[in-house]
Structure 1
Amino acid sequence: LAVDELKKALKLYGAGEPRYSEALKIIATLGSATWSQLRTGIEARLGKITDSTLSNILRNLADSGFIRKDGSKYTVADPTLRRGILTFL
């Protein structure tokens, strides 16, 4: 259910959806990720990303409740959602 809601929410981002999905996959895979790790990972798979674009992605995901920021690291907000991201995204 959580993954279905996530997929619906990601579709709202249109052309930006791959970057949102990649950010979530990186965070879920690592367990937690810094801004630099996210930027490096996204750029390795999808090409250059600006600071402002990455900041917007992280803010939108946090505002939607999918991720949270703990100090300097981002984590998936819910363990069930994390498993769903690793399995289905």
Structure 2
Amino acid sequence: MASAAAENEPFWRLPLAEFHRNQLPSNFAELNNTASAAYPAGASTAAGFLSHFVENYHEGWLHIDCSATYRKAAVEQWSAGATGLGVRTIANLLTAE
């Protein structure tokens, strides 16, 4: 969050509760990579999927959901195409000492 603040990019912490981790049932595998019709897809559900591959999912990792960083059409704040939102934050995070 400090890197986002330093770059003046709007990041915020999303919830990752146990129920997000349990919204990915599969009839064929231990885990499905998409939510079923009974559960909504979203950034927290995606983080729930990824958390199954992290040793301690409560700390020490992050999921940056960048699904909304591309615009099909222009809006008041953004032109059409890639916004680049998050690139400065990631660069700051990777180069921070």
Q: Do Structure 1 and Structure 2 share a fold, with TM-score over 0.5? A: no
TM-score tier by shorter-chain length is under 0.3
Higher normalized helix content (fraction of residues) = 1
TM-score (norm 1): 0.27
Bigger radius of gyration: 2
TM-score (norm 2): 0.25
